[in-house]
Amino acid sequence: MPSTNEQRLDIIENCNHLLNKLQGYEQTDSTPEGRMISQLKWLKERAENHDLPLPVDPVMLSTLRYILVDGGISHLASNPDDDNSFYSEIELPMRRLIRLTKEGQLLLKPDYHPYAMRYLNALLSILQQSPRPLDQYEQGLIDEVKHLQQILADPNAVLPLMTYMPDFENFIDVRANHVSVSDLAENGKHLFQTVNNLMFNGVRPDSWLTPEDADRETANL
């Protein structure tokens, strides 16, 4: 599991984003806003001091995890009644902090989009060259992978993070039955799971420490 300066800076960035949303609230244990300020300041200070070993003990992230599930600061979105506003401004930064701290994962960033595209190309290839007839979900997955390619090819791509419906319903069905992809090629299951992490979780493989690493790893896909 990597522990890099990039992750440290990403933690600080996402903490700052949420702390800006919490401006005007008091740091106190009596409100979700106050508890969240304490959690974010703790993470930020340790990241700034190079004193945040990854992954962080989940117990030390209890406030972040609880408020993420509870939605206790959803009203901080610029438009709380708009799901997209809440997700992009509040939930997504919180989920990124969980992936960075609890999971110790690396975020997918534009520099790595060309290598993510190689995974999409490889997954599409094994589907289109299947040695057996595809079931209805696998057949539907072909169009969904092409859709993901179009999204990723956009320089201003907005990934469908944690959003499978309504455009990627076949992805859900195939995800529930990995064996239906793993028998198409030796690396079929790996390709599918990696695409899922890249496009829907927004994280890249631990081995992609640099774009050069990603290039080497994906060159022969």
Q: Is 18 left (phi over 0), alpha (psi -120 to 50) or beta?
A: alpha
The reported pLDDT for the residue numbered 179 is 65
Low-confidence ranges of the chain (pLDDT < 50): none
DSSP state of 72: T
Domain boundaries, the chain: 5-106, 110-218
Q: For the whole model, what pTM was predicted?
A: 0.91
**Cα–Cα distance between 11 and 13 in angstroms, integer?**
5
Whole-number Cα distances in Å, 22 to 19, 68, 187: 5, 15, 45
Whole-number Cα distances in Å, 196 to 47, 49, 62, 108, 191: 28, 34, 26, 12, 9
143 alpha carbon, distance to own chain's centre: 22
Whole-number Cα distances in Å, 221 to 15, 56, 106, 204: 36, 33, 21, 16
CB 112 within 8 A of CB 213: no
Q: What is the pLDDT of residues 41-71, one digit of tens each?
A: 999 999 999 999 999 999 999 999 999 999 8
Within 10 angstroms of residue 135's Cβ, the number of other Cβ atoms is: 14
Amino acid identity at 158: V
Question: Which residues, in sequence order, are bridge partners of residue 106?
Answer: 204
DSSP state of 112: G
**Cα–Cα distance between 207 and 86 in angstroms, integer?**
32
Q: What is the pLDDT of residues 90-116, one digit of tens each?
A: 999 999 999 999 999 999 999 999 999
- Closest listed residue to residue 140, CA positions, set 166, 113, 114: 166
The reported pLDDT for the residue numbered 2 is 86
What the block records as the tokens of 132 is 């057996």
